[in-house]
Structure 1
Amino acid sequence: MKKTLFFVYNAQSDIWNKYLDSLHKIISPATYSCDLCSLTHGNFSEKKVWKNFRENSDYEFVFMYKDEFLDTYTYLEDKSFNLPIIFQKQEEKINLLFDSEGLSSLNSVEELIEFLKKKIS
Structure 2
Amino acid sequence: MNRSESRLTLVYNADGGWLNALKDAVWKVARPATYPCSLCALTYGYVSMHRRWRQFLAGLPQDKVFHHRDDFSLAFPDLAIPLPAILLEQDGAVPKVLVSAAELDALSDLEALVRLVEERLAHA
Q: TM-score, normalised by structure 1?
A: 0.91
Corresponding residue SS for 1:93:
coil
Residue 17 (structure 1) aligned to one of 16, 20, 23: 20
Displacement, 1:93?
2.5
Corresponding residue SS for 2:28:
helix
AA at the equivalent of 2:55: N
- Give structure 1 regions of 4+ aligned residues with deviation exceeding 2 angstroms: none
Alignment of 1:1-121 (within 5 A): 1=1, 2-76=5-79, 79=80, 81-90=81-90, 91-121=92-122
Structure 2: gaps of 5 or more residues:
none
Separation in 1, partners of 2:113, 2:31: 22
Across the aligned residues of Structure 1 and Structure 2, the Cα RMSD in angstroms comes to 1.2
Separation in 2, partners of 1:116, 1:62: 15
Separation in 2, partners of 1:93, 1:82: 16
User: Identical aligned pairs, as a percentage?
Assistant: 31
Structure 1: gaps of 5 or more residues:
none
Displacement, 1:15?
2.5
Displacement, 1:110?
0.7
More divergent stretch after superposition (89-98 vs 62-71)? 89-98
Separation in 1, partners of 2:17, 2:57: 24
Displacement, 1:44?
2.3
